[in-house]
Amino acid sequence: MAITDFLEKNAKLYPQDVSLVEINPANQPAREVTWREYNLIEITSSERYRREMTWKEFDTKANRFANLLLTRGVKKGDKVAILLMNCLEWLPIYFGILKTGALAVPLNYRYTAEEIKYCLELAEVNTLIFGPEFIGRIEQIFDHIRNVKTFFFVGECTPTFADSYDKLVTYCSSTAPAVDLKDDDEAAIYFSSGTTGFPKAILHTHRALVSACLTEQNHHSQTREDVFLCIPPLYHTGAKMHWFGSLLTGGKAVLLRGVKPEWILQAVSEEKATIVWLLVPWVQDILDAIDSGELKLEDYRLGQWRLMHVGAQPVPPSLIRRWLSVFPNHQYDTNYGLSESIGPGCVHLGVENVHKVGAIGKAGYLWETAIVNDKGEPVGVDEVGELIVKGPGVMKCYYRNPEATAEVLKDGWLYTGDMAKYDEDGFIYLVDRKKDVIISGGENLYPVQIENYLRKHDAIKDVAVIGVPDERLGEIAAAIIELKEGAVCTEEDIMEFCIDLPRYKRPRKIIFDKVPRNPTGKIEKPKLREKYCGTRLVEAQTKR
């Protein structure tokens, strides 16, 4: 079956039930009103504090966009990219693309103009739909992305080079297009990247997307009565695949556009959320706000909240113990996954295994795991090896990159690049990562990109960027800088030089020291980690 079958089923069985809610706290009305009035108040001509959509409306909007794409010549196998912030339109657009037989290509909203261009070309995208936050970046590359023939814009004041999604989609048929979709049809391309910083295009089929629905629902026991609060960006496999549990069961999901602790608890309270997926910084911020008295739990209705799970980066066990001391009735869970394994779930702790906090768990539903040495042989208890996984969610390939595909796909197994070990009970613990990717606040930072940027500074002779532990973000980027002989440079000078880097890519720590290299010229980052981190044996919990 195709993933779109679940949407069509929900539209038939629960047409008037709410499927999605969007809450934008930044648009909260200034005057004192009740929460129930918020969705009736006009904030601007196009924005409301709260918007919602039924399952029937969801399916109708997906059908309309699918038919719009078909009128523009989009056909089965084409690629349509999505560059939007989280919004009520995001998922209907995604499913509209899939209904045409085309591949949905979500783009990271933090990409620079050049990164957007690179991904559009790599995935051979011919249609792009984007929002107002990205007009400037698209304008920078518009004349250089020849493969993209059609541009749709979501919002008001449509740029001259794009067509208005909002206007055109209303004139399209609400009937599902007659496109035959099968399990093995290609469905989506997601982007990942290694230490080089150049994203790889990860190709997934409908079978993989469907398997993610089954795995997620099995792990977290969603029912139609559950309400899932989704905060992370929908371009990320983690956010979308966790939402797939709601899709499978017909439950409501709430898209919260903001991460302030009071916004999160308010949304849980007023939308009666039962399941919330958080990142480590948000957990930290909520607990700190409660400890300081800034938030008072008695001000919120939280009794229905049954499950809090954390992902996308290493999670300190001490943080979870602290959470459970504040919320003793919560179930806790974590999932491990990669975009290459259709996101979270190939390894799963399980709510019944909270006593194993610190482990990432065991093989998830429909998955197999193994830990092997350099020869591909299984290792014993407490022996470190590379974690490999097998299951229906393993990617088909790295699109247009057979060499990289062959490196990680072997006999049906996906080699994750993560070093791990089993304990005596068979639970898996991450030990280290082969790759040098830094996971900071749930986002991947690529050291080579930052290093290449810093090397443009006239005073810098050599530079290495590593991740160092951080209580709130998991890791932060530290730049070890070797200056040219006689050069004078301060930490403030480096920070000023980095002002043009996106904020999340800027190094948080500057260290002036010699950069060690081995005889072949490679930077010896293990030495730097040992020196500045003490060890890389962090309290690891999750990576995507």
| DSSP class per residue in 287-324 | HHHHHHTSS-GGGS--TT--EEEE-SS---HHHHHHHH
Residue range 194-222: average pLDDT?
89
Distance CA 96, CA 526 (A): 46
Q: What is the rounded average pLDDT of the residues 404-433?
A: 91
| Residue whose tokens read 């909260």 | 28
Closest CA relative to residue 20, chosen from 215, 212, 247: 247
Q: What is the pLDDT of residue 438?
A: 85
Decide: 386 and 434 in contact? Cβ < 8 Å: yes
Pick the residue with more confidence: 32 or 398? Answer: 398
Whole-number pLDDT of residue 34: 43
CATH number for 4-258: choose from 3.40.640.10, 3.40.1170.60, 3.40.50.12780, 3.30.2230.10: 3.40.50.12780
543 pLDDT higher than 50: no
Q: What is the pLDDT of residues 212-258, one digit of tens each?
A: 999 999 999 999 999 999 999 999 888 899 999 999 999 999 999 99
Fold: same for 4-258 and 438-533: no
Lowest mean pLDDT among 32-41, 233-242, 468-477: 32-41
- Tell me the two tokens of residue 466: 């590593």
pLDDT of residue 36: 39
> Domain locations in the chain?
4-258, 330-433, 438-533
pLDDT bucket at 30, cuts 50 / 70 / 90: low
Pick one of 3.30.300.30, 1.10.10.10, 3.40.50.620, 2.70.98.90 as the CATH number of 438-533: 3.30.300.30
Virtual torsion, Cα 209, 217, 230, 37, nearest 10 deg: 120
3-state secondary structure of 185: coil
Percent of the chain with pLDDT over 70: 91
Instruction: Give pLDDT tens digits for 149-167.
Output: 999 999 999 999 999 999 9
CATH code of domain 330-433: 2.30.38.10
So what's the pLDDT on residue 193? Answer: 57
